[in-house]
Amino acid sequence: MLAQRIKKLKPYVPGEQPRDRTYIKLNTNENPYPPSPRIAPYLKSFDIEKLRLYPDPLFTALRQAIATRYGIDKAQVFVGNGSDEVLAFAFYAFFDSTAGTLLFPEFSYSFYPVYCDLYGIEYRKVPLNRDFSINISAYLQDASCGVVFPNPNAPTGLLLSIETVTRLMEQYPEDRVVVIDEAYIDFGGQSAVCLIDRFKNLLVTRTFSKSMSLAALRLGFAMGDEDLIKALFAVKDSFNSYPADLLAQQIGEIAVKDTEYYAGITQKIMESREVLSDQLRHMGWDVLPSQANFILTGKRGLSGEAVYTRLKENGILVRHFNIEGIQDFVRITIGTDEEIQALMEAIRRLF
Ligand SMILES: Cc1ncc(COP(=O)(O)O)c(C=O)c1O
């Protein structure tokens, strides 16, 4: 009854979204602040009649708004149902093991190996430096069919500078694609989108889920050379003409134009991240220097699992990865001031 290939799948397991009780939820890197205040008036005056028709399969207005925001051409923008889908299409379009092995960091977004297994792409996890930073020279040694990494990396939060990214692009073969997953770039990094005209083999992916506080909308996008974007459309149109619905496209357009509001909440999250990191360090915790909306932290002598479990028992959800090398850490999403205060009180009390 089932196809053989389904038996081999090891699906990605997203962070918990518990419905049993209310937690202080610091486990899936959602934004603690509301989305743009311009969205509510749009929804209140929405004409239900519009739901009768299929949405624009080319996402024209949204792609134009994204292009204007980043100073690029609409033909350099692709849109999908969350950046997970954009990444899934990119893996299908660009990574082919007959040309070599796909490379990505050892501790990184755990969806990457899942896409590889789904499509039969061979991959190799490249070890990080001792300080958990990405070692770009390791990506230049092997014959690879492509490279993908988040910048800042997840779950470490460590950022590669634009100079380092440029050096990688200058040295990497120009007939292979490098995908930079910039899910968290707005929290302190400089985007590689400024390099897409120069490097035709660079694809930058983005999400509305983190800095734009729209995780429930399921919207992501990619920016790159027109030929890469055409390839993504070819995959999308072989799968689903309409991955982004009308509401998602229009709300996305409103959000992407509200730069001022989003700059404010992003700034606040970055400040809170520094406050939380300092407080934890003061109490003897190790905190990796994050440029994302989360921190990876742990305390010598305490297992990450114990920290996760005891915080959960006390109504606070953080993320623990049972992966050798980072199992002594937990990843904590930056919340509101009240949430961070409750977290710090719990940590002082419990550990
Ligand atoms: C590194 C990274 N990339 C991509 C995503 C996916 O984001 P979304 O599918 O919500 O756009 C996440 C979500 O947590 C992430 O951590």
Domains of the chain: 4-35+260-350 (3.90.1150.10), 39-258 (3.40.640.10)
Strand 123-126 relative to strand 101-105, pairing = parallel
pLDDT reported for residue 215: 98
For the Cβ of 209 lying below 6 angstroms from any atom of ligand 1, the answer is yes
Counting every residue written for the chain, the total comes to 351
What's the CA-to-centroid distance between 52 and ligand 1, angstroms?
Answer: 31
For the Cβ of 109 lying below 6 angstroms from any atom of ligand 1, the answer is yes
Question: Tokens 């518990």 label which residue?
Answer: 18
- β-bridge mates for residue 151, sequence order: none
What's the CA-to-centroid distance between 182 and ligand 1, angstroms?
Answer: 9
pLDDT-derived band of residue 141, with 50, 70 and 90 as boundaries? confident
Hey, is 351 helix, strand or coil? coil
What's the CA-to-centroid distance between 83 and ligand 1, angstroms?
Answer: 6
Q: And the tokens for 69?
A: 């925001």
**Residue 14 pLDDT > 90:** no
What's the CA-to-centroid distance between 72 and ligand 1, angstroms?
Answer: 23
d(CA 95, CA 148): 10
Q: In terms of pTM, does the model score above 0.95? A: yes
| Average pLDDT along the chain | 96
For the Cβ of 83 lying below 6 angstroms from any atom of ligand 1, the answer is yes
For the Cβ of 150 lying below 6 angstroms from any atom of ligand 1, the answer is yes
At residue 28, φ and ψ (nearest 5 deg) are -130, 20
Taking residues 203-210, what's their average pLDDT?
98
pLDDT reported for residue 343: 98
Region of 172 on the Ramachandran plot (φ > 0 left; ψ -120 to 50 alpha; else beta)? beta
For the Cβ of 342 lying below 6 angstroms from any atom of ligand 1, the answer is no
**Residue 55 pLDDT > 90:** yes
Centroid of chain to Cα 264: 20
Question: Tokens 């379009």 label which residue?
Answer: 93
Q: Could you tell me the sign of the dihedral formed by the alpha carbons of 138, 164, 151, 76, in that order? A: negative
pLDDT tens, residue by residue, 82-137: 999 999 999 999 999 899 999 999 999 999 999 999 999 999 999 999 999 999 99
**Residue 199 pLDDT > 90:** yes
